[in-house]
Amino acid sequence: MKKCRITVMKITQHRDLMERFENPMENACGMKEGQVFITNGWEKPEGFCDSAWGSLSAFVMALACGGEDLYKGWMKNPKSAMISCNDGFRPVSFYIEALSEEAE
């Protein structure tokens, strides 16, 4: 099983939807664009958002276990995936790529 790199690519905020539907939040996702996390196999990295992990973990597991071309030719790197978390108000887009380094 391989390690994977997860990079925060983009954070979007849909302020119109937040104002219309969301209760005031004291603590939204603390991720920052460019932030990088390294998985040990498909274990959730320390400090990674639990909700985002729910959206990404199956893709991380597939790539860590040697899966390739998950999107049938869409990705330039067949050992990668682009996934967004399931937060409809402030979705975060992640680039996941399998590394050559073995998990511990």
43-72 pLDDT, tens digit per residue, is 999 999 999 999 999 999 999 999 999 999
- Domain with 47, as residue range(s), is 2-19+31-102
Domain total of the chain:
1
Please give the pLDDT value at position 27.
65
36: β partners: 7
Contact partners, residue 23, CB within 8 Å, separation at least 6? none
* Alpha-carbon gap, residue 34 to 13, rounded angstroms: 17
Provide the pLDDT for residue 25: 75
Q: Is residue 76 part of a domain?
A: yes
Q: Residue 25 domain-assigned? A: no
What's the pLDDT score for residue 24? 82
Name which of 13-22, 24-33, 55-64 the model is least confident about. 24-33
Rounded CA-CA distance 13/24 in Å is 14
Q: Is residue 26 part of a domain?
A: no
63 belongs to a structural domain:
yes
Question: What pTM does this model have?
Answer: 0.91
SS3 content of the chain, % helix, strand, coil (to 5): 20, 30, 50
Query: Looking at the domain assignment, is residue 42 inside a domain?
Result: yes
Is 80 exceeded by the pLDDT of residue 28? no
